[in-house]
Amino acid sequence: MPQLQKRNIVDRLKAHRQERKGVSRRFRPWRARRRSNLRWRRSERDLLPKLSQQGRHSLLVESRRCRSISKMQPRQPPSKSTDEPLHFSFSGGGWLMVYMYGVCKALREQKVDENAKFIGTSAGCLSVVSLVLNSDFDKICDSVVNDYVPSAHASWKGPFKMRDYLIDAITRHGNVNNMDKLHGKVTVVYTSLSAWVTRRVSHFKNPLHLLQTMVASCCATPLVGFPFVHEGEYVIDGGLLDNQPLFDDDVRTITVTPNVFAKADIRPSRYVPPWWSMYPPSQRDMQWLYDLGYEDGLSWCKREGLPGSESIVIPTKAAEYDGEWKTVIGQVAGYRSIEDLVLAAAELLLLSEDSITCNFVRLEIVLWKVVAVAVAVLDRMTVLWTVLVVSALLALVLLGQHYTIEFTLVLGGHLILALVKVKDACAHVHLLEEWRVLQGAVLATEKQGRLNKHGLTPKQHELLTEYSYVYRLGSLLV
Active-site residue numbers? 122, 237
Kindly give, in sequence order, each residue whose CB lies less than 8 Å from that of residue 422, ignoring residues fewer than 6 positions away: 373, 377, 383
| Residue 95: Cβ-neighbour burial (10 angstroms; 0-12, 13-18, 19+) | buried
**Contact 130/192 with Cβ under 8 angstroms?**
no
The Cα–Cα gap between 239 and 90 comes to: 11
Nearest-10 Cα torsion for 321, 326, 328, 333: -80
Kind plus residue range of the DSSP H or E element containing 87: strand 86-90
**Contact 252/87 with Cβ under 8 angstroms?**
yes
The reply to whether omega before 222 is within 30° of 0 (cis) is yes
Handedness of CA 343, 272, 98, 190 (dihedral sign): negative
DSSP output for 236-271: E-GGGT-SS----TTS--EEE-S-TTS--SB--SS-
**Contact 88/256 with Cβ under 8 angstroms?**
yes
The Cα–Cα gap between 457 and 478 comes to: 18
Question: DSSP character for 326?
Answer: S
**Could you report how far apart the first and last alpha carbons of the chain are, in Å?**
117
Q: Is 323 left (phi over 0), alpha (psi -120 to 50) or beta?
A: left
Residue 186 has a CB neighbour count (10 Å cut-off) of 24
The Cα–Cα gap between 82 and 116 comes to: 10
